[in-house]
Structure 1
Amino acid sequence: MRASPSVSVLVGTARLPLNGLSPERVEVLHRINSVPSARVVLTVQGNPLRDIFEDVEAEVARCAAGEPVSLMLLDAQEREHLIFKGVIEQQTMKADRERTELTLRLRHDLEKLRNSHRSQVFQNMSEATVVGSLLAAQQIPATIADMDLRCEQLVQFGCSDWRFIRERLSASGVWAFPSPERVVIAAPGIAFPTLIIRQHALFDSDHVLMEDASWSFSERAQPEKLKTSTWDDHEQRLDTVSAKDVSLGTGAFDSARGNTINREPWQFSRSAPLGLQRTTALSHGLMLSLQAGRASGEFRINGTAEVDLGDTVSIEGYGKAFDGDGIVTAVRHHIDREAGWRTTLTLGCDDMSSEDVPPAQINGLHIGVVRSFKKDTGGMNRLQVHLPVLGDNSDPLWARLAKPYASDMSGFCFYPEPGDEVIVGFLDGDPSFPVIIGSMHNPKNRAPIDLDAKNDVKALIVGKQGMSSQLLFDSGEQRVDLSSPQEQLVFKKGCKLMSGSGLALTSNQLKLSGASSVSVESMSVNFDQKSTPPKKS
């Protein structure tokens, strides 16, 4: 029988061990881009129905859901290993006259990020700073690399902090490698093998031997080539990036090698102006998630705590078709009081693309309120808009303004005023790329003309500080008015031009004519003829 290691369950902020409750079975799972979990089955010695409450009632109470917990393992060489750290998610107790089981389901501290739901705005930050701030808010230590791209504005909309982090990982082409005490975020890559697993030992060497193994090779969803295009709103053209093959192993685990079923290139396109660098990262991330599923395997060995997520493990002794180096994407520990300790290592991913997290879309139209003018240094004539759906205290977003007509040095230039209520849509449903598509009157910002049953009057009215200029069409009176605070031009069975401050008609030639008569009425009429200077001979 395989020797079983000693596992201590440390509970509470003081991390005190359980003494009366004894671990019978422990399962711990760490997987890339996932929240680590564990399951601990605790039993009580003696008559359970009588002794459970007399001897370990206090310990059961300490194991309440929400309490901090750690699992410490003491191996055969009496070395201590912290194999899990997190929080108790669920407590379940089963009892009969022969046996009592207290089962604890545990989650890594990353569960704090998953157990949330909110919207917020990040401005002028790198991807690493955004993700790091969310982890730091929950006191989760992190090392972050390969996420240096800066974003002018990035919006988390209606989702958990963990989902938003997963979105950013997918968009950046990096993986999260959680461990009991920290999270490492980086692009995956092959390194020198941490462990060599063989089918048979060589020359009584100290190789780790395989207990059982499985391999999977798939050409499902494997593109020959992959291109990603996004719109460049400054240059008015598509930014198109061809993804490079991603090698996540050697030999059998070389994810860049295969026989593609369909050689037509895959094309991903977005209308959102991500920029060339972010488009490149997105294209790389898409290819990474697809090719990661080309070759994978699971290998069960005698228990070890020496292998972490992201390490490289070498498989030897099974022949060219199955040997190679691969990246560890999952580590599962099975510890049983009777059967001992086994560790299952996963190399590669069976279907990584199914775990990709697309951006949480903001569907439909939303209300916005225009903020005070701020010059758009990006040269896009954008306005700052507050979106109440993101929260009362959320920062405003830069939003482009849709117009009925917009062409080179000509167009419909009516910009909303600060405080105006506007309707906002989003490119690709991405909350980071809003577009103002219209404005609305309301009881606070009232319409200058009330709607009635006849609906005869149509107008364009521009007002400021109590003064207005307008172009008014009255189909009932067959009249058109063009007016400013001091002047008015009326077309109604003729033309009438009125001004309170005088009129001046100036032209190189001026001709007044009437078919039957011309009338000039005034208190006084002056006609001044300017003499034409004589021509020089």
Structure 2
Amino acid sequence: MAEILKVNDLPVSFEVSINGKVLSGAIEIISLSVSLEVNRIASANLKISDGGAFGLENEPFSNSASSDFIPGNEITISLGYGDDRKTVFKGVIIAQRMIVRRNTSFLQVSCKDKSFKLTKSRSNTVMSDAKDDDLFSKLVSDAGLSAEIESTKKFNYPLFQYNTSDWDYIVIRAEANNLFVTTDENKVKIKAFNLSENPKFTIQADVSALEVDLEINGENTYSEFNFTSWNPKNQVTTKVSANMVDPATFGNLTAQKIAGNLAVPSLNKFTSAPLSADELNAFSKSWISKSSLTKIQGKIIIAGTSQLKPGELVGLKSFGERYEGNAFISKIEQEFSEGDWKTTVFVGLNPRWHSTLNDVEEVGALGLLPATKGSQIAKVKKIHQDPDGEYRVLIELGAFQNTSNSNELWARIAFNYASDQAGFFFFPEIGDEVLVTFINGDPRFPVITGSIYSSKQKPKFETDAENTKKAIHTKSGLAIIFNDKDKIFTIKTPGGNTVILDDKEKQVSVKDMNSNEAILNKDGIKLSSPKNIVLDAKGKISLKAVSGIEMAASGGDLEGKGLNVSLEAQVAMKAAGNASAEFSAAGQTTLKGAMVMIN
């Protein structure tokens, strides 16, 4: 059974240690405050009496000048009653501030948990075959901190931290896995929401509550959650749906009841990324947890206690049936001033996601100048004589054409394939309309990502419903044409030279501007020419056929020459002349046979 928190009648006591040494009692601490919050870095502030009016002698600002409050010193703050004190903050001093007013002067000391180092630098990290908790452990360990980390599921793609702080990455991925992050005494804790556990302590309104401000708000409650991603393997969407689950352990109205009463539509999230159903399920659980915890939010101020921590549940009793039950603690504030110690307990959860904070992403163009967003339209002015020899194209941005200043920029081109002495070599024409983006949003570094057709600059062909034709056409008329409907591939020149690979007619044809033609089809190979056909080989030419070889010259002579001419018939050989026939030799002539018949 949960212990009811009670007011302690003993006097409040506190202790502050710097680098392990208890601060001198001669130093007057006017007030101190501590803040511990889910998904935030723990912090503390001290207000210390120091100095006087300017011009006083005897070192009026001795505390600010001492070695105690130098940034980097370790600090521990304990609060309690009588001699029983517990640590409420441990961290480092990050700043001191001197404030002098008409009737007072003091030193303000700001402190943070050592985990603040996780927020100070942006990093790029890729981990293959790892889980989120693996990277959490690495990032926390690299910062020299200890951690208590819940195990996460493994998804089938690398972990990728891009240009963001370690802290932002940890919190964003923790939220995506239905986890939350706390920092306490220089230790990072990453835990799962457990809203069904029994609280250790109970706040009873008529026993320890000093002030109460609680609100039921259904604006961010949903009955149903739908998440959709793209599955490239199956070329369909992956959809995960989940319903609100709120057991009403806090108040007597469930989140689903409130959402239903308000007729809040279902939450729908879409992405074209190939996220698995496992990750979408984990994300849906995060949304359910956050949505249910926004149902009741507020704060309760009680007599000071160090027993409550953010991320835990606390029982609320005697607050009325709408507000009783087990509440999730999202933040604890400790305030000590003039001998009085109060603890503010914040319950419920802000619906804000860490990924929506303004400074999570690096400012565009690295903050060197105002960044560009999206793509721009430009016209090509020049494609050669890049002054830097980087094969860039001179462009003119359309959005700047109404200005008096020159807006020409040299832009790189994103080719499909570009390699050393290899790749595509297709530069746009002068006057072409192109689409331009900018590297890291920096307007000084444009890249042409493509060319654009329009009603003024039309393509060579018109589109059809079946998208049957693709082509490459140059300005001079050189063309490569793909006809997907008839399965015809054509290469042609403006002078009439063509090569056609035709699956419809089942043939290949080559024809030049002089009507010379070669046709290859099921009937064989046909060579035709309005003039001569010459076969010229430095070696030999062999003609072979199974059915026969025919040679005919309808309008001229048939001639054959060689050092030696040899004709051999396997069965019979006949040579005949309709008018005359002659066999002669400058030397000996021989006719042989089993029988030789002349006339």
Normalising by the residue count of structure 1, what TM-score does the alignment of the two structures yield? 0.68
Report the counterpart of residue 530 of structure 1 in structure 2: 546
Report the counterpart of residue 227 of structure 1 in structure 2: 226
Q: How far 1:55 moved relative to its partner?
A: 5.0
Aligned partner of 2:513 among 488, 493, 497: 493
Please show how residues 154-193 of structure 1 align to structure 2 within 5 Å.
154-190=159-195, 191-193=197-199
Structure 1 pair 246–361 and aligned structure 2 pair: CA distance change class (3 A): farther
Report the counterpart of residue 17 of structure 1 in structure 2: 23
2:223 and 2:256 in contact (8 A); partners too = no
1:29 and 1:37 in contact (8 A); partners too = yes
2:114 and 2:186 in contact (8 A); partners too = no
Q: Deviations over 1:223-272 (max 9, x none)?
A: 22111111122222222112242448614176535322125322211111
Structure 1 pair 299–96 and aligned structure 2 pair: CA distance change class (3 A): closer
Q: How far 1:217 moved relative to its partner?
A: 0.3
Distance in 1 (alpha carbons) for counterparts of 2:523 and 2:163: 68
Structure 1 pair 492–81 and aligned structure 2 pair: CA distance change class (3 A): farther
Q: Deviations over 1:454-479 (max 9, x none)?
A: 9648699xxxxxxxxxx98655x555
Distance in 2 (alpha carbons) for counterparts of 1:294 and 1:305: 26
Structure 1 pair 492–33 and aligned structure 2 pair: CA distance change class (3 A): same
Report the counterpart of residue 551 of structure 2 in structure 1: none
Q: How far 1:526 moved relative to its partner?
A: 4.8
Q: Which amino acid aligns with 1:187?
A: A
1:253 and 1:325 in contact (8 A); partners too = no
Please show how residues 435-450 of structure 1 align to structure 2 within 5 Å.
438-439=415-416, 441=418
Describe the SS at the equivalent of 1:131: helix
Q: Deviations over 1:412-433 (max 9, x none)?
A: xxxxxxxxx9xxxxxxxxxxxx
Q: How far 1:531 moved relative to its partner?
A: 5.8
Distance in 1 (alpha carbons) for counterparts of 2:232 and 2:177: 21
Q: Which amino acid aligns with 1:219?
A: G
Describe the SS at the equivalent of 1:512: strand
2:515 and 2:529 in contact (8 A); partners too = no
Please show how residues 331-410 of structure 1 align to structure 2 within 5 Å.
331-338=332-339, 340-349=340-349, 351-353=350-352, 355=354, 357=356
Please show how residues 406-425 of structure 1 align to structure 2 within 5 Å.
none
Please show how residues 286-365 of structure 1 align to structure 2 within 5 Å.
286-338=287-339, 340-349=340-349, 351-353=350-352, 355=354, 357=356
Report the counterpart of residue 370 of structure 1 in structure 2: none
Q: Which amino acid aligns with 1:241?
A: V
Distance in 1 (alpha carbons) for counterparts of 2:529 and 2:101: 115
Structure 1 pair 291–100 and aligned structure 2 pair: CA distance change class (3 A): same
Q: Deviations over 1:99-148 (max 9, x none)?
A: 43110122222211111123332322101111221111112221111523
Structure 1 pair 253–113 and aligned structure 2 pair: CA distance change class (3 A): farther
Report the counterpart of residue 279 of structure 2 in structure 1: 278
1:32 and 1:309 in contact (8 A); partners too = yes
Describe the SS at the equivalent of 1:287: helix
Q: Which amino acid aligns with 2:111?
A: L
Normalising by the residue count of structure 2, what TM-score does the alignment of the two structures yield? 0.62
Q: Which amino acid aligns with 1:6?
A: S
Q: How far 1:76 moved relative to its partner?
A: 1.6
Structure 1 pair 240–528 and aligned structure 2 pair: CA distance change class (3 A): closer
Aligned length: 428
Q: Which amino acid aligns with 2:30?
A: E
Bigger radius of gyration: 2
Structure 1 pair 180–243 and aligned structure 2 pair: CA distance change class (3 A): farther
2:137 is the alignment partner of 1:138: no
Please show how residues 32-47 of structure 1 align to structure 2 within 5 Å.
32-44=38-50
Structure 1 pair 227–495 and aligned structure 2 pair: CA distance change class (3 A): farther
Describe the SS at the equivalent of 2:258: coil
Report the counterpart of residue 13 of structure 2 in structure 1: 6
Please show how residues 52-131 of structure 1 align to structure 2 within 5 Å.
52=59, 56=63, 59=66, 61-73=67-79, 75-95=80-100, 99-131=104-136
Q: How far 1:361 moved relative to its partner?
A: 7.2
Structure 1 pair 528–316 and aligned structure 2 pair: CA distance change class (3 A): closer
Q: Which amino acid aligns with 1:239?
A: T
Unaligned runs of 5+ in 2: 1-7, 366-390, 392-413, 431-473, 481-489, 501-508, 549-599
Please show how residues 255-266 of structure 1 align to structure 2 within 5 Å.
256-260=255-259, 261-266=262-267
Please show how residues 448-487 of structure 1 align to structure 2 within 5 Å.
456=476, 475=494, 479=497
Distance in 2 (alpha carbons) for counterparts of 1:175 and 1:183: 11
**Relative to structure 2, which stretch is displaced further, 353-362 or 1-10?**
353-362
Q: Which amino acid aligns with 1:111?
A: F
Q: Which amino acid aligns with 1:250?
A: T
2:220 and 2:351 in contact (8 A); partners too = no
Describe the SS at the equivalent of 1:344: strand
1:314 and 1:325 in contact (8 A); partners too = yes
2:517 and 2:528 in contact (8 A); partners too = no
Describe the SS at the equivalent of 2:81: coil
Distance in 2 (alpha carbons) for counterparts of 1:494 and 1:128: 74
**Relative to structure 2, which stretch is displaced further, 188-197 or 437-446?**
437-446
Describe the SS at the equivalent of 2:40: coil
Q: Which amino acid aligns with 2:416?
A: S
Please show how residues 183-262 of structure 1 align to structure 2 within 5 Å.
183-190=188-195, 191-200=197-206, 208-247=207-246, 250-252=249-251, 256-260=255-259, 261-262=262-263
Structure 1 pair 98–248 and aligned structure 2 pair: CA distance change class (3 A): farther
Q: Deviations over 1:326-360 (max 9, x none)?
A: 1211111111124x1111111212x3235554896
Unaligned runs of 5+ in 1: 201-207, 366-420, 422-436, 461-470, 483-488, 499-504, 533-537
Q: Deviations over 1:477-506 (max 9, x none)?
A: 555689xxxxxx9754158899xxxxxx99
Structure 1 pair 361–34 and aligned structure 2 pair: CA distance change class (3 A): closer
Q: Which amino acid aligns with 2:164?
A: C
Q: How far 1:279 moved relative to its partner?
A: 1.0
Q: Deviations over 1:14-66 (max 9, x none)?
A: 5563554332101111111111121110114999944545854653x431234
Structure 1 pair 122–255 and aligned structure 2 pair: CA distance change class (3 A): farther
2:315 and 2:326 in contact (8 A); partners too = yes
Q: Deviations over 1:365-422 (max 9, x none)?
A: 9xxxxxxxxxxxxxxxxxxxxxxxxxxxxxxxxxxxxxxxxxxxxxxxxxxxxxxx9x
Q: Which amino acid aligns with 1:101?
A: F
Q: Which amino acid aligns with 1:92?
A: R
Describe the SS at the equivalent of 1:211: strand
1:298 and 1:347 in contact (8 A); partners too = yes
**Relative to structure 2, which stretch is displaced further, 61-70 or 220-229?**
61-70
1:69 and 1:87 in contact (8 A); partners too = yes
Describe the SS at the equivalent of 2:208: strand
Structure 1 pair 249–262 and aligned structure 2 pair: CA distance change class (3 A): closer
2:38 and 2:330 in contact (8 A); partners too = yes
Q: How far 1:519 moved relative to its partner?
A: 3.9
Distance in 2 (alpha carbons) for counterparts of 1:128 and 1:84: 26
Describe the SS at the equivalent of 1:169: helix
Q: How far 1:160 moved relative to its partner?
A: 1.6
1:173 and 1:285 in contact (8 A); partners too = yes
2:510 is the alignment partner of 1:510: no
Distance in 1 (alpha carbons) for counterparts of 2:96 and 2:118: 21
Q: Which amino acid aligns with 2:81?
A: A
Q: How far 1:83 moved relative to its partner?
A: 1.0
Distance in 2 (alpha carbons) for counterparts of 1:448 and 1:490: 26
Q: How far 1:525 moved relative to its partner?
A: 5.7
Describe the SS at the equivalent of 1:177: strand
1:293 and 1:353 in contact (8 A); partners too = no
Report the counterpart of residue 468 of structure 2 in structure 1: none
